[in-house]
Structure 1
């Protein structure tokens, strides 16, 4: 990256408003970060950060500089991409946001395969629930959001790239283990759910409601903000839950959890990518979009842990 180093340090500190966190991101020592900021302040002749009262905040000079530092970052990325593009390559930073299920169980494999073809692309990834990733996209903190469940927004374009199936997970010793149950049986057991804002939760609630079982009829005992938290709670005997088939495959393989089937209920959904409305993405964003549309199903692990082929 050809971005001015001092401006990059300033931008990262301004983002975190914390010198130690900025140092971690920049892979520098905290004194080195402080030295770079001090040199930049001497160059401009004004303080850029107010360090009083135990808190860090931007001074008027720092607030005035920040938009230009952001523009310099963008210009640096565009210049890098343009030079690579002149030789038929892709380069620059690609900022991805992913829902927790996608981020934890699918994204690493997808990124590894993408970088095999485009090694000069620098990928920065973050995760959260689907709503949080869409907000990050709209705030232009990320270039592409990979989300779960149906979403309808006018300010972004949403495009499915993979089908996912959600399964009912129960403790290994549960009476429902490896058995088919009736929809009404779900109202008799504590049900563990993801938090509001989770795409997984929306899919489950909508499917159950469509089948005739409303949220008020369920015994929702615990809400957790991660899929792994749900699975750990099921292992502890706190209830049953619905999760993506990708999330539970290792637990099934070692026998710590079992699956059950609800008669007549099919919980399928699409994993989707979201990007800003407007022209079709180009550069590394466009290449990653095309990669998801053509390769994601092929690369995704099956519930058994094996890869699936495009013909399956």
Structure 2
């Protein structure tokens, strides 16, 4: 059960992120649905809460005042749920978890849905961003745990392996490399579309290329984009080739809008990781979700 008013929750997440796309990812909603909720709230209150300028948004004075109250109400609602939950022994309340972009978009929704069915009185929200941003949120205490791509070599962060993942090279539907392997040297002849600096995917790709003796300076990095969806769209448009999680392109492969490219001597595998702060295991809802993730990992390992 989520006691926090849904429309106020949408407003609070948008106000905290000042980005409709990121808020939509955190709320597991579509961006139009988030925009509709904000518009309805502004109409209900008869006051503008955000000023919009192109792709940027800022809080108005009214929005800033409402955010203060919305944050207080969210804390009160969570405290009430946790207090009442002690009477029944059922996990409830609100849990903020972190996830790097690829995991948040293509993997976490299924996990959140299943965990929610197991704990119907729990409400989960997701803080997403690239791996560096998620680690920063953990260290600041904004989230108790997170799922990220690859190990995190950062002081003050405890890491444990979760699941395996493979990164593949994607090609446009019509490309000369389709149907046969290309050499490592040929990579330098094609425009490359990479994730931004700080992305776990980019770090893993660059590490694999270095191990394969590919000089990164010779690659033609034509674009750096901040999401897997943006990379897929750019590759579909024929702007170059890219590297993304195999989990992220299943739909496009079925539709035939993207193809997998093979590179001789290059296979990029990585592990998703669970990260949290050192110390005792989290209790309450965070502890229950951690145990849920470990159960998924153990079942996958035993297959």
Whether the TM-score (by the shorter chain) exceeds 0.5 is yes
- The within-5 A match list for 1:56-95 is 56=61, 74=75, 77-78=78-79, 80-95=81-96
Q: 1:88 to 1:16 in 2, by over 3 A?
A: closer
Q: 1:79 to 1:275 in 2, by over 3 A?
A: farther
Q: 1:55 to 1:258 in 2, by over 3 A?
A: closer
Q: 1:239 to 1:139 in 2, by over 3 A?
A: same
Structure 2 Cα separation of the partners of residues 178 and 81 of structure 1: 56
Contact 1:17 1:56 in 2 (8 A): no
Q: 1:172 to 1:26 in 2, by over 3 A?
A: closer
Aligned residues: 271
**Structure with bigger gyration radius:** 1
Contact 2:188 2:218 in 1 (8 A): yes
Q: CA RMSD in A?
A: 3.5
How far the C-alpha of 1:292 sits from its partner, in A, is 1.3
3-state SS in 2 of match to 1:101? helix
How far the C-alpha of 1:205 sits from its partner, in A, is 0.4
Partner residue, 1:184: 185
Contact 1:92 1:284 in 2 (8 A): yes
Structure 1 Cα separation of the partners of residues 124 and 292 of structure 2: 14
- The within-5 A match list for 1:227-238 is 227-238=228-239
Compute the TM-score of the two structures, normalised by the length of structure 1: 0.74
Structure 1 Cα separation of the partners of residues 298 and 230 of structure 2: 26
Contact 1:178 1:258 in 2 (8 A): no
Q: 1:311 to 1:138 in 2, by over 3 A?
A: closer
Q: 1:58 to 1:186 in 2, by over 3 A?
A: closer
Superposed CA offset, 1:163-211 (max 9, x none): 1000111122212213222222212211110011111000000111111
3-state SS in 1 of match to 2:88? coil
Structure 2 Cα separation of the partners of residues 281 and 119 of structure 1: 20
Q: 1:58 to 1:243 in 2, by over 3 A?
A: closer
Which structure 2 segments of 5+ residues have no match?
Answer: 19-33, 48-58
Contact 2:167 2:245 in 1 (8 A): yes
- The within-5 A match list for 1:141-180 is 141-180=142-181
Partner residue, 1:275: 276
